[in-house]
C-alpha cells in the first residue's frame, strides 16, 4: 500500500510540474502573417514539416505556421492530414540569388502560444525540404 501511495504521489508531482511549466508560457493573440505578393520574390521552395511529438496532440485546424527570413514572413503553411500524420506544406518565396536562412514560427491556437526555431534552413530556389511521405520534424521552442 505504501508503494502505491508513493507512486501515486510521484505521478501527482510530475503532473503538477508539467502543468506549471505550461502556465508559465505567455498567452498571445493569433498572428496576422502576410507574404509579399508584389513579385519581389519570383522563385520558391517547398517545405513539408510536422510538429514535434509533444505538440502534436494539441494541433487544431486554426493553428498557423510560417517561414521567415529575419522578421519577414516568406511563406504560410497549410495543414494536411494523411492517415495519422498531420503535416504542414509551406511554399516559401525568395529570389534566384538568395542565400538567406529560414526560421519557422508555429502558433498553437489551443495553447495560445507561439513556438519558434532558430534560422537553420538555407533557402534553395526550386528546392524542397521534407516530403508528403517524409515530413521533417521541426525543433520548436516556446517563443519568449
The reply to whether 17 falls in a domain is no
Q: Is the pTM of this model over 0.85?
A: no
**pLDDT tier, 82 (very low <50, low <70, confident <90, very high otherwise):** confident
In a domain, 38, yes or no: no
Distance CA 27, CA 52 (A): 20
Domain span at 81: 43-142
53 falls within a domain: yes
b/e 3-21 (16+ beta carbons within 10 angstroms → b): eeeeeeeeeeeeeeeeeee
Cα separation, 48 vs 77, whole angstroms = 9
CATH of residue 72? 2.60.40
Is residue 111, in this structure, part of any structural domain at all? yes
Looking at the structure of the chain, the number of domains it has is 1
Q: Which helix (H) or strand (E) holds 20?
A: helix 2-23
* Interval 6-58: pLDDT, tens: 444 434 344 434 443 445 788 999 999 999 999 999 999 999 999 999 999 99
In a domain, 21, yes or no: no
Q: Residue 47 in contact with residue 65, Cβ under 8 Å?
A: no
Task: Give, in degrees to the nearest 5, the angle at Cα 98 between 120 and 119.
Answer: 15
What does the mean pLDDT of the chain come to? Answer: 87
Express each pLDDT in 94-143 by its tens digit: 999 999 999 999 999 999 999 999 999 999 999 999 998 899 999 999 99
How many Å apart are CA 86 and CA 105, to the nearest integer?
A: 17
pLDDT for 46 equals 98
Q: Is 101 within a domain?
A: yes
Query: Is 4 inside a domain boundary?
Result: no
Buried residues in 50-81 as b, exposed as e (16+ CB within 10 A): bbeeebeeebeeebbbbbbbeeebbbbbebee
Domain assignment present for 109: yes
Amino acid at each position: 500500500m505504501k508503494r502505491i501511495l508513493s507512486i501515486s504521489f510521484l505521478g501527482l508531482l510530475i503532473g503538477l510540474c508539467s502543468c506549471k511549466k505550461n502556465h508559465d508560457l505567455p498567452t498571445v493573440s493569433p498572428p496576422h502573417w502576410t507574404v509579399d505578393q508584389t513579385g519581389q520574390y519570383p522563385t520558391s521552395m517547398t517545405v513539408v514539416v510536422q510538429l514535434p511529438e509533444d505538440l502534436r496532440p494539441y494541433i487544431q485546424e486554426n493553428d498557423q505556421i510560417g517561414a521567415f527570413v529575419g522578421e519577414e514572413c516568406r511563406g504560410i503553411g497549410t495543414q494536411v492530414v494523411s492517415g495519422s500524420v498531420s503535416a504542414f506544406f509551406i511554399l516559401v518565396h525568395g529570389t534566384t540569388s538568395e542565400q538567406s536562412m529560414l526560421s519557422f514560427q508555429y502558433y498553437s491556437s489551443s495553447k495560445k502560444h507561439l513556438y519558434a526555431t532558430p534560422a537553420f534552413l538555407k533557402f534553395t530556389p526550386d528546392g524542397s525540404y521534407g516530403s508528403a511521405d517524409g515530413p521533417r520534424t521541426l525543433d520548436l521552442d516556446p517563443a519568449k
